[in-house]
C-alpha cells in the first residue's frame, strides 16, 4: 500500500490484506471520471484562491493524459492512491500534495460513480430508443397481419401483430420514462462533501458541479457521500425493463415454434443442433431471456448489501 497514506501512522500493511480490500479492478472502470473529478477540483481551488495558479497548473499538467500513463500497481489500495502518487511524482510533493486538499476519496468516488453511471444511462436510453424505432417500423409493415391474441397461452381474440408490437413499445416507453427520472437524481454532485462533513476551506461546490456537468449538488454532505440509492434506483428501473424484455423474448421464442408457427426467425439469428440438423433454435433470444435474470440478480444482491448499513 502507498506510503503516502500510511507513513507516520501505520506500519506496512499485510500483502494479503491489501489484495483482499483492493478496489483497483473496479476503479479502472471509473479511472477517467476520477481524473476528471481531480481536474475540476483543482480548477475550482485555483479560482477560489485556495491554491496558487503555479501549483494548480503543475497539478493539471500532471493530470493531463494521465489515464493513458498511470500504472496501478498491486500494492495500491485503489486508483485514487495511484493517481496521487503519479501527480506527486510529476508535479513535485509541494505542488502535488495539494491534489487532495479539501476533498476525500469518499466524495471523489461517489462523484466518479455518478459520472460513469450517467453515461451508461444515456447509452441505455439510446439503445431503447433504437429498439422502439425498429418496433415501430415492423408494426407499420404488419398493420393488417392478423394473429391470435392469447390469454393463459390459449387463443382468445384476434389481434394484429402491429397491436402486439405497440403493446411492447408502450412498455419500453414507460421504462424509458423511468430511466429519465432516475437520471435526474443521478446527475447531482456529491463533490465537496469531503469524508462526510465537508471542509473548513472556502470551496465552491456549485462551481465543481458546473465544471463536471452536473445539474446541481446534493445539499446534505452526509447524504452525499453515504447514499447509494441512485444505484439501487437505476437497477430497479433496469430490472423492470429486464422483465419486459424477457417477456417479449419468450413470446417470440414460443411463437417461432412449429406448434405455434406465427414467426419465422431469420437464419442469421438462429442456430441448429449438433445432432438434429432439422432444428432451428432461437439461441439468441434464449440468451437474452437468461441475461435478463442477471439484472434481477444484481438488483437483489445490491439491495441486500445496502440493507441495514450504518450511515456514513
For residue 188, which phi and psi values (nearest 5 degrees)? -125, 140
Residue 74 near residue 19 (C-beta atoms within 8 A): yes
| 235 CB burial (10 A radius; 0-12, 13-18, 19+) | buried
What is the C-alpha radius of gyration for the chain, rounded to an integer number of angstroms? 26
The count of residues in the chain is 312
Q: Is 92 left (phi over 0), alpha (psi -120 to 50) or beta?
A: left
| 214 CB burial (10 A radius; 0-12, 13-18, 19+) | buried
Distances from the Cα of 307 to the Cα of 21, 75, 311, angstroms:
21, 31, 11
| 301 CB burial (10 A radius; 0-12, 13-18, 19+) | exposed
Q: Helix (H, G, I), strand (E, B), or coil: what is residue 110?
A: helix
Write out the catalytic residue numbers.
152, 273
The crossing angle, in degrees rounded to 10, of helices 229-255 and 105-141 is 30
Q: Helix (H, G, I), strand (E, B), or coil: what is residue 44?
A: helix
d(CA 247, CA 240): 11
Amino acid at each position: 500500500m502507498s506510503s503516502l497514506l500510511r507513513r507516520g501512522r501505520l506500519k506496512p500493511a499485510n500483502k494479503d490484506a491489501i489484495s483482499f480490500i483492493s478496489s483497483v479492478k473496479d476503479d479502472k472502470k471509473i479511472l477517467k471520471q476520477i481524473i476528471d473529478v481531480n481536474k475540476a477540483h483543482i480548477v475550482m481551488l485555483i479560482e477560489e484562491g485556495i491554491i496558487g495558479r503555479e501549483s494548480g497548473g503543475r497539478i493539471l499538467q500532471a493530470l493531463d493524459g494521465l489515464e493513458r500513463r498511470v500504472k496501478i500497481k498491486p500494492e495500491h489500495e485503489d486508483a485514487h492512491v495511484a493517481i496521487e502518487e503519479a501527480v506527486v511524482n510529476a508535479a513535485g510533493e509541494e505542488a502535488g500534495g495539494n491534489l487532495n486538499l479539501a476533498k476525500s476519496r469518499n466524495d471523489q468516488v461517489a462523484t466518479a460513480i455518478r459520472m460513469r453511471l450517467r453515461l451508461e444511462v444515456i447509452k441505455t436510453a439510446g439503445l431503447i430508443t433504437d429498439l422502439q424505432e425498429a418496433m415501430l417500423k415492423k408494426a407499420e409493415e404488419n398493420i393488417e397481419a392478423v394473429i391470435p391474441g392469447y390469454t393463459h397461452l390459449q387463443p382468445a381474440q384476434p389481434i394484429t401483430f402491429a397491436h402486439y408490437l405497440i403493446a411492447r413499445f408502450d412498455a419500453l416507453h414507460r421504462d424509458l420514462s423511468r430511466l429519465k427520472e432516475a437520471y435526474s437524481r443521478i446527475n447531482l454532485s456529491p463533490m465537496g462533501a469531503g469524508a462526510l462533513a465537508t471542509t473548513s476551506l472556502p470551496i465552491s461546490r456549485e462551481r465543481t458541479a458546473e465544471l463536471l456537468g452536473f445539474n446541481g449538488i446534493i445539499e446534505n454532505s452526509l447524504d452525499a457521500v453515504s447514499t447509494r440509492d441512485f444505484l439501487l434506483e437505476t437497477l430497479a428501473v433496469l430490472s423492470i425493463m429486464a422483465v419486459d424484455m424477457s417477456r417479449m423474448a419468450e413470446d417470440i421464442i414460443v411463437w417461432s415454434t412449429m406448434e405455434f408457427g406465427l414467426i419465422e426467425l431469420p437464419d442469421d439469428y438462429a442456430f441448429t443442433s449438433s445432432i438434429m440438423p432439422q432444428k432451428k433454435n432461437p439461441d439468441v433470444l434464449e440468451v437474452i431471456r437468461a441475461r435478463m435474470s442477471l439484472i434481477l440478480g444484481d438488483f437483489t444482491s445490491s439491495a441486500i448489501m445496502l440493507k441495514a448499513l450504518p450511515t456514513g
